[in-house]
Amino acid sequence: MATGLVHLILFLILLFRRGKGTGEKLALLYMGLALLWIVALTLANLETIFLPVVTRSGNALIPGLVLALAVGYLLCAAFFLDYPFWPIAATAGYTWTVILIGATVYFLLFPPPLLPLDSIHTASWVAVTLTTVALLALSLFRSRLAFRRNRALYWLVTANALVAGQALTLLPAGPLRMVGPLVHLLGAIALTRGALTFWLPNVKAVLRSAFRFCFLFAATAALLAGVVLAVEYLTTRWAMPPTTLVVLLAVGVALIYLPLYQGLARLVDRLLSGVGFDPAQALRDYSQTISPVLDLEQLARTAVQTVAQVLDIQRGALLVVSETERGGLLLRPVPALGEVPTDPIELEPISPILVRLKEQDDPLFQYEVEHHPVLKEALRREREALEALEMEIYLPIRAEGELVGLLALGPQRTGEPYSSRMVEFLATLAQQTGVALQNARLFVGLQELNERITLLNESLKAAYERLERLDRAKSDFLSLASHELRTPLTQIRGYTDILADLASSDMLTQEQVAHLARNLAQPVRRLERIINTLMDASQLDVGMSFRFAPTNLAGVIRMAIEPWLPALKERNLTLNTSGLESIPMIRADTDRLVQAFSNLISNAIKFTPDGGRITIEAHPLDEEHFEVTVADTGIGINKADQELIFEKFYRVGRIDLHSSGDYKFKGGGPGLGLSIVRGIIEGHGGCIWVESEGYDEERCPGSVFHVVLPYHGHRGPCRWKRPGQGE
C-alpha cells in the first residue's frame, strides 16, 4: 500500500504541473499505467479479502499492464534520447497492447481462452524490453559528448529498476511478487525526476559514491566483527574480565581506525576517480604563463593545454566574440586542441543563447543548448553550429564587464560530465583569461590597422604617381597639341603665300591652282581631324551622343580598315580578319564604332615595326555579348601604362621623339585616341582592356586590345564580367 501511495504522489506531481511538455506527458501516461498495474496487483494478492473472480481478473490483467508499462518506458526513453520514431512506436506498441488486453477481458467473460495469452504477453514484454535496452546501449556507446552518455546511462539505470520490478510481478503469487512494486518505485522516482528537470545527476559519480560507501562500510563492519571475535577468543585464553578486555581492544581499534579509514578512503578515491589536481597551483602557473601572450592562437593553445593537463580533455578552442552591425554576436573559433571547425557563428540579437551569454556569468553547457526549454527556441542554424563544435561547456570570458570571448572545452577522456569542482576551477581560469584576451584583441586590431595603413600608403603612393604622370601628360599634351596644330597651319600659310605671290605676278596657271588646292586640302583635313578629336574628347565628360541602329560588324570593321590601306601597303604590314561573319546583326552607332576601331587600327599601325602583322578576330561570348580583339606584333606596352593609356592626354614614349605622321612608326598624336575609343565602347554598354607582356622594341611582344560589346547596344555599365573578376 505504501508503494502505491508513493506512485500516486508521483502521478499527482506530474498531473498538476503547469505547462507540461511532451516528455512530462509521456511520464504522466506511464505513472497512470503504473497505478492501474498496482491496483491489479493489490486485487490479485489479497485473495482473502476479495472474491475469487476479482483476484482472478487481477491476475489475468497483470501481464497486459506490464506490457503497457514496457511500451510506455520505451516511448519515454526514445523521446528523451531524441529518437524521432517514438510516435510510430507508440502507435504500434499500444495498438498491440490494447489487442492483447481486449483478448484477456474477452476470455475472462467468455472462457475458456483459445490462445496462450500469458506466453504471448511475456514474449511481447521481453521483446519491448530488449528493444528499450538496445536503444539505451546504442545511445550510450555512440555518444561522443559526456552529457549525452550520462543521459543514456541515467535512463539505462532507471530501466533496470523498472524492468526488475515489472519482471517480479510476472512471477506466481509469493514474497518476490510483493517486492516488485518496491523495486519499481525506485525507477519511477528516477523517471519522474528525469521528466521534470533537464539536469540529471552524474550517474557514474553516484555509483562511485555508492561503491565507496559499501566498501568502507564493509571494512568498518569487518573491523568491528574482528573485535567481537577477538574478545571471545581472548576471554578463553586470558584470566581477564571481559569488560577490561573490551575496553583495551576498543582503545586499540580507536587508535588505528581513523588513519586506516582515511587511507582506505584515499585508496578508493584514487582507484575510482584517478589522481586529483591542485586548482590553486594550476591557476598560479596559468596566470604567469598568459601574462605576456599577445597572439590569439597562442593564447588559445595556452588556455586549453592548461586545462588538458589538469582534466585530460580531448578538444578545445577559444571563441573570440565581436558585435555585429545589427547588434548580434559573432563567435570566431580559434582552434587549440583537436579538429575544430573555424566557420564563424552568428547569434541573432534576439537569440536566447545570446541573452544567456550576456546576462549570466555561469558557464553554458551544450546540454542546456539542446534541452533547456528557453534555449531550444534559438534558431536551428545557431544550435547546429554549436553542436558541430562538439564542445561540452562554454565559459564566458569578460573584460571590464564586457563579453570578449568564450573558452570552449570538449569532453573529458574519462567520459564523465564536469563536476562542480571542475566547473569552479574553469570559471576562475576563464576570469584570468579576460585581460589577456582583451590585450590580444587590441594587439590583433593594431596589426590589422597597421596593415590597412600600409595598404593605404601604397594606394596613396600609386595614386600620387598616377596623378603625377597624368599631370605630366597634360603638359605634354599642350606641347603636342600646339605642334599638331602649328604643322598644318604652317603648311596652309606657306601655300597661301605661294598662291599670293603667283597671283600678283600673273604667273598662276590652272594646273598650279589645282596643285596648290590639293596641297592645301591635306593640312586642312589633318587640322579638321585634330579639331574633331578635340571635340570628341570634350564630350567624354558630358557624355557622347549615340544613334543606335541595326548594323553589321563585318561592315564596320571594313569601313574602319579602308582609310588605312595605303599605310598598310607603305609600311608592308599584314592585316588579317577572322570570325567577323559569325557575329549576327548588332544594334549600335555605326559611325562611332567605325571611329573606335579605326583608332585601334591606327594605334596598331603606329607601334608595329615595318613588316609586322595585325590581326582582328571576333567570336561570341554568351547570349548577350561578343568580343573583338585587335592584336599586333608591335613593341608592346609597359604593365604600368596599360590602364593609363585609356586616360585623356596620356601617351607612351618620349615626347621629343614625337612625329606628326599619321602612320609612321612610333608616330604619336595628342593622346586622345584611346580615351575616345573607351568612351565609345562604354557608351555602347561594353568594355575594353589591353594585354601585353611589356615594352620591348627588340623582341616585340605585341599587344592585344580586347573589346567586348553587347549585341544590343545600350547606355549603361557593361553587364559582362571579365574572367577572374568578382561579381
Which ranges of 543-611 would DSSP assign to H, the alpha helix?
553-561, 565-571, 590-606
How far does Cα 538 stand from its chain's mean position?
52
Cis status of the peptide bond prior to 112, with omega within 30 of 0: yes
User: Each residue of 123-140: pLDDT tens digit?
Assistant: 999 999 999 999 999 988
Q: Which pLDDT belongs to residue 727?
A: 45
Pick the CATH number of 544-710 from 3.90.470.20, 3.30.1050.10, 3.20.20.140, 3.30.565.10: 3.30.565.10
Q: How far is it, in rounded angstroms, from Cα 610 to Cα 663?
A: 11
Q: What share of the chain is helix, strand, coil (3-state, %, to 5)?
A: 65, 10, 25
Q: Which residue has the higher pLDDT, 39 or 479?
A: 39
Q: State mean pLDDT over 655-668.
A: 57
Q: How far is it, in rounded angstroms, from Cα 626 to Cα 708?
A: 6
Query: Do the beta carbons of residue 380 and residue 279 sit within 8 Å?
Result: no
pLDDT at 15 over 60: yes
For the domain 279-445, what is the CATH superfamily, name and number? GAF domain (3.30.450.40)
Q: Which pLDDT belongs to residue 252?
A: 78
Q: How many CB atoms lie within 10 A of CB 416?
A: 20
Q: Which pLDDT belongs to residue 444?
A: 65
Q: Which residue has the higher pLDDT, 322 or 292?
A: 322
599 burial via Cβ count (<10 Å: 0-12, 13-18, 19+): buried
Q: Which pLDDT belongs to residue 275?
A: 43
Q: Which pLDDT belongs to residue 358?
A: 87
Query: Do the beta carbons of residue 488 and residue 521 sit within 8 Å?
Result: no
Q: How far is it, in rounded angstroms, from Cα 171 to Cα 182?
A: 15
Q: Which residue has the higher pLDDT, 641 or 508?
A: 641
Give the alpha-carbon dihedral of 504, 509, 512, 516, to 10 degrees. Answer: 50
Q: Is 579 left (phi over 0), alpha (psi -120 to 50) or beta?
A: left
- Confidence class for position 173, pLDDT limits 50, 70, 90: confident
Sheet-wide strand order for 687-691: 574-578, 613-620, 625-632, 703-710, 687-691
Q: Which pLDDT belongs to residue 424?
A: 85
pLDDT at 582 over 80: yes
Contacts of 234 (CB under 8 A, 6+ apart): 240, 245
Q: How far is it, in rounded angstroms, from Cα 212 to Cα 214?
A: 5
Domains 2-200 and 544-710 alike in fold: no
Is residue 704 classed as helix, strand or coil in its secondary structure? Answer: strand
- Confidence class for position 453, pLDDT limits 50, 70, 90: confident
pLDDT at 213 over 70: yes
Q: Which pLDDT belongs to residue 385?
A: 92
Q: How many CB atoms lie within 10 A of CB 663?
A: 18
pLDDT at 473 over 60: no
pLDDT at 476 over 60: no
Query: Do the beta carbons of residue 129 and residue 70 sit within 8 Å?
Result: yes
Is residue 660 classed as helix, strand or coil in its secondary structure? Answer: coil
Query: Do the beta carbons of residue 624 and residue 710 sit within 8 Å?
Result: yes
CA neighbor of 14 nearest in space, from 2, 36, 1, 31: 31
Q: Which pLDDT belongs to residue 650?
A: 59
Domain ranges of the chain: 2-200, 207-272, 279-445, 544-710
Q: Which residue has the higher pLDDT, 166 or 231?
A: 166
Q: Which pLDDT belongs to residue 192?
A: 93
Q: How far is it, in rounded angstroms, from Cα 577 to Cα 618?
A: 8
Q: State mean pLDDT over 45-57.
A: 68
Is residue 630 classed as helix, strand or coil in its secondary structure? Answer: strand
| Dihedral sign (CA 232, 233, 237, 238) | negative
User: Each residue of 383-413: pLDDT tens digit?
Assistant: 999 999 989 899 888 877 788 888 888 888 7
Q: Which pLDDT belongs to residue 629?
A: 95
Contacts of 581 (CB under 8 A, 6+ apart): 554
pLDDT at 96 over 70: yes
Q: State mean pLDDT over 311-339.
A: 86
Residue type, position 694, single letter: G
pLDDT at 30 over 90: yes
CA neighbor of 31 nearest in space, from 43, 17, 18, 45: 17
- Confidence class for position 588, pLDDT limits 50, 70, 90: very high
Residue 319 is inside which H or E element, if any?
strand 316-323
Q: State mean pLDDT over 48-60.
A: 71
Q: How far is it, in rounded angstroms, from Cα 108 to Cα 632?
A: 106
Residue type, position 242, single letter: P
- Confidence class for position 450, pLDDT limits 50, 70, 90: confident
Q: Which of 32-46, 87-101, 457-471 is least confident?
A: 457-471
Q: How far is residue 132 from each of residues 272, 397, 415, measured CA to CA in Å?
A: 29, 42, 22
- Please write down the HEC assignment for all residues of 25-58: HHHHHHHHHHHHHHHHHHHHHCCCCCCHHHHHHH
User: Each residue of 97-126: pLDDT tens digit?
Assistant: 899 989 888 888 887 777 788 889 899 999
C-alpha cell belonging to residue 147: 552529457
CA neighbor of 526 nearest in space, from 565, 562, 485, 481: 485
CA neighbor of 592 nearest in space, from 642, 540, 629: 540
Confidence (pTM): 0.57
CA neighbor of 502 nearest in space, from 441, 602, 670, 494: 494
Domain 2-200 sits in CATH at: 1.20.1070.10
Q: How far is it, in rounded angstroms, from Cα 547 to Cα 536?
A: 15
pLDDT at 292 over 90: no
Percent of the chain topping pLDDT 70:
83
Q: How far is it, in rounded angstroms, from Cα 296 to Cα 589?
A: 60
Q: How far is it, in rounded angstroms, from Cα 650 to Cα 445?
A: 41
In this structure, what DSSP letter does residue 712 have? B
User: Each residue of 523-554: pLDDT tens digit?
Assistant: 776 666 666 666 665 655 556 778 899 999 99
Q: Which pLDDT belongs to residue 651?
A: 60
